[in-house]
Amino acid sequence: MKIWIDILFLTILYIFVFHKSWKKQGKQIFLSKTLMYIYLGFVLHLTLMPVLTSLPFVFDHPYHPMNLIPFAGVMNNRGDFIRQVGFNIIMTIPFGFLFPLTKKYSKKNLFLKTVMSTFLLSLCVELLQPLLHEFRVGDITDLITNTTGGAIGYILYIILQPNKLLNYLIH
């Protein structure tokens, strides 16, 4: 039930804040930004939700610092690390693919911008997880694998050239 409050908030935010301004930017930007928004909603659902109902309790539990030893789970044979690494890579491939589509103008240094944006998205999630939920811990491995997923997504963007497909679909 708590997650539905976040979903309702994100829906209202989309309808009353983003929808109108994105629509003015053209069909391709509107579609790509809307897809990115939906994708980010799923990422929030998988990694941070519930958010709004957790905010009043942020300081009611200890903050667990981020694990800064890369691939500690692999080295210590802890948990299902292959599934976790694979999931983190797969989870951010869409970000790396969609991010360039949301850019209307400057394509300069787009790979670097995409990778850095993926890194910052992942860093925010990893820092917020233990703040919102006492059972969650940020992990440097997740940061590395998420960023790798974003880079793979960008490479797929280059290979598949979705701008041409989007232009075809909307015209």
Confidence class of residue 171 from pLDDT cuts 50, 70 and 90? low
Q: How confident is the model at residue 17, as a pLDDT? A: 96
For residue range 3-47, what is the model confidence (pLDDT) as tens digits?
999 999 999 999 999 999 999 998 888 999 999 999 999 999 999
- C-alpha torsion angle, residues 67, 73, 78, 81 (rounded to 10): 120
Q: How confident is the model at residue 132, as a pLDDT? A: 92
Alpha-carbon span 91 to 117, nearest angstrom:
14
pTM of the model: 0.89
For the chain, the domains span: 2-170
For residue range 52-96, what is the model confidence (pLDDT) as tens digits?
999 999 888 888 888 898 988 777 766 777 888 899 999 999 999
Answer yes or no: is pLDDT of 134 > 80.
yes
Q: Where are the alpha helices (DSSP H) in 24-105?
A: 27-47, 72-75, 81-98
Q: Give the sign of the dihedral formed by CA 76, CA 81, CA 84, CA 86.
A: positive
Answer yes or no: is pLDDT of 151 > 90.
yes
Q: How confident is the model at residue 87, as a pLDDT? A: 95
